[in-house]
Structure 1
Amino acid sequence: MKTNKYLRNQLLFLSGWRRRAIPVLAGLALGACSDPRPPEVRGAPVQAVPAARAPVTVDVCGQPVTYTQVPQRAVTHGINITEMFLALGLQDRLVGYGGLRDITRLPPAQQPLLATVPDLSNQGMNLETLIHAQPDFVFSGWSYGFRPGQITPASLQALGIASYVLSESCIRQVARERVSLEDTFQDLLALGRIFAIEERAEALVNGLRAELQRTTDALQGLPRKPRVFVFDSGTDIPVTTGRYAMPQAMIEAAGATNIFDDLDSSWVRGNWEDVIARDPDWIVIVDNDSPTADGKRQFLLNQPELSYLQAIRAQRFVLMDFAEATPGPRNVQAVRRLAHALHPERIPSP
C-alpha cells in the first residue's frame, strides 16, 4: 500500500511505541447506578478479555473484515458512536474519544464513564493525537471521523490499527439500498463479536428491537402519514436528511414520510424552495449545538416565506438531539417520542 511521507513517519513512530508499550490493565468495576447495560446483564462485572482468540470476520461496508485479536485499547470518534460503545459496557477498553464537544450531551448515566478517559479531539480526528493514545482499534464512520485523504480504515491498517465503520455512513463509499434501524442493531452485534461480548450485545439489541416493535405495531393501518422536514442547520441553504440518513428510517418507523426521501444521499444541502413546495406537517429540529435548538426554531418562525407552511402555522416542532438523529442506542426511544407527537391517539406519552 502506498503511503505519503507523513503517514510513513507515523508508521515509524508507531513501531517505536509498540516496543515500549506496557501491558493493558484490567477494567474498572462500576456501580449499578452508572451501568448503561440492559437489565439482563446489569450488575455483571466488566472483565478484561484475553486478546488472543480465534479470528472473527464481520461485514464492514459490504466487505468481510477479519479481527484476529480482541481489542484492548479502543478509540471512538462521534458522540453517537461513543454512546454505542458505552451502552455495551466497553468503557474499560476506551483509551480516548473524540467528536464530543460537551460530555453533558451524553445520557447522565454515561457521563461518569468518561471522567478519566482522555478527550483526544472535540472536532476532527487528529492522527498524531490518536497515535499517542496507542490504540489497537478505532470505531468511527465516514464523515464522522474518517475522511478520504485523511484518516481512513486503510491508513489505520497500514499503522497496524484495526477499525470498524458505522454502517449508516457506508453510503459515502459504497451504494446501499436503504437505511434502517437494523443498521444500528447490526453495528452493536458486530461490536459484540469483535470484543467477545456477544451475549451482552444480543441482550441490548433484543431489548431495543422489542421496544421498536411495540411502537410500529401500534401504528399499523394509519389512514394518513404526516410529512416531516428535518432541519439540521443553515440559513441560506438548509442542511437536511435524504433517504440514506438515519432520520429517514426513524420517520418511517414513527408513521410518517420524509419530504426529502427522494434525495439519494444522507445528510445533504437542500433548498427552501423545495421545503415550501412540499409543505411539511411537522419539522424535526436537530440539536447539534450551533445554533441552539430554540435559535433554529425562532429562525424558522421569523422567515416570512415560510409562514404559510402547515408546520409553521401550527408550530408543530419536535426536538431531536444529534445523538438521537444519528445511529445509536437512543434511536428507538426517539422514534417513540416522535411517534407520540405525530400520533398521540396511538402512542401514549413516553
Structure 2
Amino acid sequence: MRSRVWGGTAAVVIGGLLAAGCGGGGKGAAGQSAGKAASGDYPVSVTDCMGATTTFSEAPKKIVTSNASSLELLLRLGAGDKVIGTGFPPGKGTLPGALDAQAQKVKVLGRSVISKEKLLGSGADLYIDTFAAMGGMGGRGMGDVPTEEEFKAAGIKHIYLKSTACAAQSKSPVTDLSAVEADITSLGAVTGTSVKAKELVAGMKEKVDAVQKTVGGVAESKRPTYFFFDYEAGTKQPTVICNRQVANAVITLAGARNVFADCDGDRKQVGWEDVIAKNPDWIQLGVRNRGSEAANKKAFDEAQKWLETNPATEGLKAVKEGHFLRIGSEQTTIAGVENAETVEQIAKALYPGKAG
C-alpha cells in the first residue's frame, strides 16, 4: 500500500470545533463562544467528538499541526505565522499559489506521525490533530499517542477537526459540507481569524449553491453513478469511499451517486467483484498531488491505464466509455476549502452545458 501522505483514512484536521454533534453544524455553548470570538472576544470553547471541552482565553501563539491538511487551513486563515512545526509535511508544489512557499518554511517535526517525545517537547501551546485518537476511539494505528494528561502537563491544548474525526461514528451519512464550514469557522475563532474564516465559508457556499441550483433537482434515479478509485491505496484490493467520508458529500452535492454510499463508515476495503457489480457510470482517478503538472499527469495516466488493461475492470461501463475524472485525491477526501471547488469540477463533467 502506498504511503498516505495526508493522513488517509483517519484524516482529522481540527476536530472538536464548532458543531455540537459529530459531523453536524449545531449551536450551543461552543457555537456561541465561537460567535463571540468573531469580534476578537475570548474565551472560546470547543468540544471534541466525545463532548469534552477545551477553552481558549486567548489566541494560541505556537501551533503544531499533525499534517498538511490542518497546516493548509491555518495558512488560508492567515494564521500560518503561528505554526512552529508539522508532521506529514506537504510536498513541494502540492499547495496552491503562495501557500506552497509558506508551507515549505514550516519546520518538519516528523515526515509521518510526529513522535510523542518531539511533540510534547515542541514548545507548542496548541496541537491540531488530524488523527482520530480520542477517548474510546483509540490511536487507529497512529503510533504512541500522548495522553490528554501528558498534553496538559506539557501545556499543550489538543483539538480535532470534527467534520472528519467524528464522521465515522456519525449516526447519518455525510451529504453536505456544513460540518467542514463549521470547523473552518471555529478554527478562525480559536486563532482570532474569524473575518477570514467567514470569507472562506462564504466562498464555499457560493460555489456549492450555484451547483445546487442547476443539478440539485435531478431525481436520485437519474443521477449518474460514481466511483472514487483510490489508486494510492493500492490496486490489489480497492479501498472505497463510504457514506461518512467527506468525499461522499462532495459526490452527492455534485449531483452524482456514490456507488458505495450504502457502506456505513468512512472507508473500507472491498473486492473488485464488488466494484464490477456496481458498474459505475463515472470513475474519479484518485491520485495524490505530485507537485507538478507533468508528475500529476503521469500519475493520472498510470491509474487510467491500470483500469483499462486490468481484466477485472476493463469491461466496466465508465472504462469503456472513457468516463474518467482527473481530480486530485486531497481536495476530494480531505476536509477543506477545496471541497467546494471539487463539487464544481465534478458537476461540470457530469452535466456538461448545465452546471457551470
TM over 0.5: yes
1:245 maps to amino acid? Q
1:283 matches 2:283 = yes
TM-score (norm 2): 0.77
Contact 2:71-2:103 within 8 A present in 1 as well: no
Q: Distance in 2 between matches of 1:189 and 1:107?
A: 21
Q: Distance in 2 between matches of 1:122 and 1:311?
A: 37
1:345 maps to amino acid? G
2:187 maps to amino acid? L
Q: Distance in 2 between matches of 1:253 and 1:328?
A: 15
Question: SS of 1:187's equivalent?
Answer: helix
Question: SS of 1:130's equivalent?
Answer: helix
Contact 2:227-2:282 within 8 A present in 1 as well: yes
Cross-structure match for 1:165: 160
Cross-structure match for 1:222: 218
Cross-structure match for 2:311: 304
Cross-structure match for 1:150: 144
Cross-structure match for 1:54: 42
- Structure 1 residue corresponding to 2:339, chosen from 308, 331, 334: 331
1:320 matches 2:315 = no
- Structure 2 residue corresponding to 1:210, chosen from 175, 199, 206: 206
2:116 maps to amino acid? L
Cross-structure match for 1:27: none
1:327 maps to amino acid? A
| Aligned length in residues | 298
Q: Distance in 1 between matches of 2:349 and 2:50?
A: 36
Q: Distance in 2 between matches of 1:289 and 1:110?
A: 15
Identity rate, percent: 26
CA separation of 1:125/1:202 partners in 2, compared to 1, >3 Å: closer, same or farther?
A: same
CA separation of 1:170/1:115 partners in 2, compared to 1, >3 Å: closer, same or farther?
A: closer
Greater mean alpha carbon deviation, residues 71-80 or residues 166-175: 166-175
1:295 matches 2:302 = yes
1:103 matches 2:95 = no
C-alpha root-mean-square deviation of aligned residues, in Å?
2.6
Bigger radius of gyration, 1 or 2?
1
Contact 1:101-1:122 within 8 A present in 2 as well: no
TM-score (norm 1): 0.78
1:200 matches 2:196 = yes
Once the 2 structures are TM-superposed, how far is the Cα of residue 153 of structure 1 from its aligned partner? 6.9
- Structure 2 residue corresponding to 1:93, chosen from 82, 95, 101: 82
1:67 maps to amino acid? F
Q: Distance in 1 between matches of 2:323 and 2:347?
A: 13
Question: SS of 1:261's equivalent?
Answer: coil
Once the 2 structures are TM-superposed, how far is the Cα of residue 132 of structure 1 from its aligned partner? 4.0
Cross-structure match for 2:260: 260
2:139 maps to amino acid? R
1:204 maps to amino acid? L
Structure 2 residues without counterparts, runs of 5 or longer: 1-36, 291-297
Question: SS of 2:75's equivalent?
Answer: helix
What aligned pairs does 1:109-124 form with structure 2 within 5 A after superposition? Answer: 109-124=98-113
Cross-structure match for 1:33: none
Greater mean alpha carbon deviation, residues 248-257 or residues 222-231: 222-231
Q: Distance in 1 between matches of 2:151 and 2:354?
A: 48
Q: Distance in 2 between matches of 1:345 and 1:222?
A: 15
Q: Distance in 1 between matches of 2:272 and 2:329?
A: 22
Once the 2 structures are TM-superposed, how far is the Cα of residue 345 of structure 1 from its aligned partner? 2.3
Contact 2:64-2:127 within 8 A present in 1 as well: yes
Cross-structure match for 1:247: 247
**What do the CA deviations read for 1:106-131 (whole angstroms, capped 9, x no partner)?**
11220121243212222223223323
Once the 2 structures are TM-superposed, how far is the Cα of residue 238 of structure 1 from its aligned partner? 0.5
Contact 2:224-2:282 within 8 A present in 1 as well: yes
CA separation of 1:94/1:297 partners in 2, compared to 1, >3 Å: closer, same or farther?
A: same
Q: Distance in 1 between matches of 2:352 and 2:115?
A: 45
Contact 1:75-1:139 within 8 A present in 2 as well: yes
Q: Distance in 1 between matches of 2:310 and 2:104?
A: 42
Question: SS of 2:284's equivalent?
Answer: strand
Once the 2 structures are TM-superposed, how far is the Cα of residue 287 of structure 1 from its aligned partner? 1.4
Question: SS of 2:344's equivalent?
Answer: helix
1:69 maps to amino acid? E
What aligned pairs does 1:7-18 form with structure 2 within 5 A after superposition? Answer: none
Q: Distance in 2 between matches of 1:178 and 1:109?
A: 35
